[in-house]
Amino acid sequence: MKEEELLSERGKEVKLEISPEEIRSLSSKLLKERHQFLGITAVDFPRENKIELIYHFASLEDSTFIWARLELNRESPEVPTISDIYPGADWHEREAYDLFGVIFTGREELKRILLPDDWIGHPLRKDYSGDEYDWQSQTKEFYYPFGTVKEKIKEEDGVFYLHVGPQHPVTHGLWRLQLKVRGDTILEGTPDIGYIHCGIEKLCEGLNYEQIVPLSERICYGSGMSWSMLYVLGVESLLGVEPPERAQYIRTIVLELQRITSHLLWLGAFCPDLGTYHSMLLYAIREREKFLDIFERITGGRLLYNYPRIGGVSRDIDDRTIEKIKETLKDLESHLEEYEDILDKNEFFLVRTKGVGVLRGEEAIRWGLTGPCLRAAGFKYDVRKNSPYLLYADLDFEIPVYKEGDVYSRYRVRIEEMRESSKIINQLIDEIPKGEYRKKVNLRNVEGEIAFRTEDPRGESMVYILAKGGEKPHRVKFRSPAYMNLSALRRMLPGHKVADMAAIVGSIDLCMGEVDR
C-alpha cells in the first residue's frame, strides 16, 4: 500500500491522497502508532463540484505530520466516520456537517454543533447566501436557541438532568453543560456549544491577508498574540518569507510572555472554581496586570495586540521595555513560589484536585487532548520541541511532564511551564540582534496551501490556509485546542461528583471564543 511507504518516512510532512473508504483503516493504524488526531478541515470547491476533507494527524514521538486528503462529491458528500476510533473526531465531524453538509456514516446521530438545530443550509459552502434562515420569524416566538432543551427530557427514577450554564459561574464563557445525575454522581456530561459562534473562518474569506491579522487574535481573549502569530507564521511559510532575525527574537519573546499571561489568567479563574474566596484570582490577576503593562508598552494594546505582521512585527522593542521584562520576570519567580505555598501546601486544594478528572494513556490520545492536559497525562509532546518554529529549535528548555493525568498534574504542568517560559525569555532577551524588525512582503497574488502548527498556551493550535491567487484566501481554518479538550469532558466527567465538575471544567483552561470561533 502506498501509505506504508509514505509512513516509513518519519519526521516529515506527509501528504496522502486516499479514498473515503480508506480513512478508517488509516486512522486505526495511526492510532496504534501513537498519532494524535488534529482535526478535519473541509474545503468547498464549487467549480470542480467537490468537497475536500483533510484529516490531520501528528505523531506524538517525532515531527511527522500527516495530511490525509479525500475528495467527496459536492451533492452527496458521504464518508465513513472515525469517531469510534478517535472519539475526539466526533465534534469535528459534527462541525464539518454543520458548516459544509458532509455526511458521516456509521455513527450516531449527526447533529449541528455551532449553529442552531433548525438552521437551514451550510454556511461555509461558497454558494451559501444566508437568506434561507429567517431570523425575524424565529425570534418572535419563544426561541430555544441551541441544542436539546427543546426535547422533553424523560427523567427516570433517581436520575435527573442538571443544566449548567449558559450563565453559570463555572462555565467561564457562554456554553451549556447538560449533566445526567444520579444522586450526587454524574452519569453523563454533554457540553453544548455554539453560543458565541461568530463565523471567523467565514469572515476570513472576505478579508485580505493583512486584515485577517487583527481578526485572528479575536479568537481567544486569553491569548490573542498566539493566534495572530499562528496565522502570520502560516502565511509566511506559505509565501516562503524569511522575516528579519530581530523580528524572530521579538516574536518568540512575546509569545512566551503571552503564555505566562494566559496561564496566570487560568490560575486566577481556576481557584475560585474550587471555592477559595477569590484570593488566588486577585493574586494571579495582579501578576498578569504587570505583563499586560509590558504588552501595552510593546504593542499599544493590553488585550488585543495586533502586533505580528506578515514579514515581521509592527513595532520595535526598546531598551526600557527589555529592562521592564527582566524585572517582571524576576518578580514572577518569587510570586510563583508564593502560589505554590498557597496551593501545594494547602491540604484542601490537594484533596480537591488529586485523582480528579483523570484522563491518561491511550484514552488521552483518542480524545485528542493536547497541550498541558496531554503533558499532564504523561506524554512528552510539545510542538515547540517536536516540530520547532521560530527560534525554539536552538533554545534550552524542558517540557514538564506528569503521569497522573488528573487536575492536580494539569495545574503543576502550567506552573512549571511559566517557569520554562521565563527561562526562554531570559535566554533571548539579552541577545536580540540589531537590525530591521519588519520586511515588506508582496501579498498581491498568493497561491498554495499550508497547515501550520504552534503550541498555544491551551494546546496545539493549527491554521490551515488555502490560497488560490488574488488578495483573499479561499479557505482559512483554525484548529482550536480548547475545542477538543472541551469535548473530552464527556470522558472525564462520568463517575465524579457534581462538585468535581467545577474542578474538571476549570482544569482544561477553556476559552469559549476559541471553541466557538
Partner 1 sequence: MLSPLRRTIAYVFRRPFTVMIPRETLELPDGYRGIHEINTDTCIGCGLCGKICPNKAIDYVFPEGKNPYDPKNFRLRRPAIDLGHCMFCALCEEVCPTNSIKLTKEFQLYGKKRIDLIRLPYELESRKEKRKEYSRDERAKMLISTELISRISPEVKQIEEKWRKVTISYYNGEISEEEYKSAIAKIESEYLEKLREVGIL
Partner 2 sequence: MTLQDLLIYLPRFVLTSILILLIFSVDLIMIIWFERKLIGRIHHRRSITETGPFGLLQNIADFIKLMVKEDLIPKKANRIIHDLTPPLIAFSGILPLALIPFSSEIYVSNPENSLLLVLAICSISPFFVLLAGIGSGSKYPVIGGFRAALQMVSYEIPLVLSALGVVMLSGTFNLMEIVRSQVENTWYLFLQPLGFFIFLSSSIMENERSPFDIPEAESELVAGWRTEFSSIKFGLIMGSEYMKMFVNSALVTLLYLGGWDGPLLPEIFWFLLKVHLIIFLFIWIRVTLMRLRMDQLLKLSWNYLIPLSLLNLLLTIVEKVMIGA
* Contact residues for partner 2, defined by CB under 8 A: 160, 162-163, 168-170, 184, 271-279, 282-283, 286, 342, 346, 348-349, 351-352, 497-502, 506
Residue 131 or 151: the one with the smaller Cβ distance to partner 2 is 151
The radius of gyration of the chain's CA atoms, rounded to the nearest angstrom, is: 23
Of these partners, partner 2, partner 1, none, which one is at the site of residue 457 (CB under 5 to 8 Å by kind)? none
Of these partners, partner 1, partner 2, none, which one is at the site of residue 99 (CB under 5 to 8 Å by kind)? none
CB 172 within 8 A of CB 269: yes
DSSP 33: T
Of these partners, partner 2, partner 1, none, which one is at the site of residue 338 (CB under 5 to 8 Å by kind)? partner 1
Of these partners, partner 2, partner 1, none, which one is at the site of residue 502 (CB under 5 to 8 Å by kind)? partner 2
Least separation, in Å, of the C-beta of 296 and partner 1? 6
Q: Are strands 78-80 and 65-73 parallel, antiparallel or unpaired?
A: unpaired
Binding site for partner 1 (CB under 8 A): 207, 210-215, 279, 286, 289, 296-297, 299-301, 304, 306, 314-315, 338, 341-343, 345-348
Angle at 108 between CA 156 and CA 74, to 5 degrees: 150
Of these partners, partner 1, partner 2, none, which one is at the site of residue 303 (CB under 5 to 8 Å by kind)? none
Start-to-end CA span in the chain (Å): 38
Of these partners, partner 2, partner 1, none, which one is at the site of residue 7 (CB under 5 to 8 Å by kind)? none
Residue 143 or 348: the one with the smaller Cβ distance to partner 1 is 348
- Choose among 323, 309, 319, 259: nearest CA to 437: 309
Of these partners, partner 2, partner 1, none, which one is at the site of residue 301 (CB under 5 to 8 Å by kind)? partner 1
Least separation, in Å, of the C-beta of 315 and partner 1? 6
Least separation, in Å, of the C-beta of 273 and partner 2? 5
Least separation, in Å, of the C-beta of 233 and partner 1? 19
**C-alpha to C-alpha distance for 90 and 104, rounded to whole angstroms:** 10
Q: Are strands 13-17 and 65-73 parallel, antiparallel or unpaired?
A: parallel
| DSSP class per residue in 142-186 | ----SGGGSSPPP--TTEEEEEE-SS-TTSSSS-EEEEEEETTEE
Residue 126 or 286: the one with the smaller Cβ distance to partner 2 is 286
| DSSP class per residue in 472-491 | S-SEEEEE-HHHHHHHTHHH
Least separation, in Å, of the C-beta of 161 and partner 2? 8
Least separation, in Å, of the C-beta of 435 and partner 2? 42
Q: What is the grid cell recorded at 454? A: 504552534
Angle at 28 between CA 25 and CA 30, to 5 degrees: 105
Least separation, in Å, of the C-beta of 338 and partner 1? 6
3-state secondary structure of 90: helix
Residue 36 or 228: the one with the smaller Cβ distance to partner 1 is 228
Of these partners, partner 1, partner 2, none, which one is at the site of residue 50 (CB under 5 to 8 Å by kind)? none
Residue 60 or 174: the one with the smaller Cβ distance to partner 2 is 174
CB 412 within 8 A of CB 400: yes
Least separation, in Å, of the C-beta of 364 and partner 2? 24
Q: What is the grid cell recorded at 369? A: 487532548
What Cα–Cα distance (Å) separates residue 116 from each residue in 24, 130, 163?
Answer: 29, 14, 18
Least separation, in Å, of the C-beta of 262 and partner 2? 21
Least separation, in Å, of the C-beta of 358 and partner 1? 25
3-state secondary structure of 407: helix
Of these partners, partner 1, partner 2, none, which one is at the site of residue 211 (CB under 5 to 8 Å by kind)? partner 1
Of these partners, partner 2, partner 1, none, which one is at the site of residue 170 (CB under 5 to 8 Å by kind)? partner 2
**C-alpha to C-alpha distance for 92 and 291, rounded to whole angstroms:** 35
| DSSP class per residue in 381-405 | --HHHHS--TTGGG--------SS-
Q: Are strands 459-468 and 447-456 parallel, antiparallel or unpaired?
A: antiparallel
Residue 198 or 207: the one with the smaller Cβ distance to partner 1 is 207
What Cα–Cα distance (Å) separates residue 287 from each residue in 142, 261, 404, 469?
Answer: 45, 8, 28, 45
Supply φ then ψ for residue 493, to 5 degrees: -75, -45
Least separation, in Å, of the C-beta of 275 and partner 1? 14
Helices (H), 205-313: 209-216, 224-239, 245-274, 279-299
Residue 286 or 330: the one with the smaller Cβ distance to partner 1 is 286
Of these partners, partner 2, partner 1, none, which one is at the site of residue 184 (CB under 5 to 8 Å by kind)? partner 2
Of these partners, partner 1, partner 2, none, which one is at the site of residue 267 (CB under 5 to 8 Å by kind)? none
Least separation, in Å, of the C-beta of 383 and partner 2? 32
Helix (H) or strand (E) holding 351: helix 347-353
Residue 46 or 275: the one with the smaller Cβ distance to partner 2 is 275
Residue 9 or 184: the one with the smaller Cβ distance to partner 2 is 184
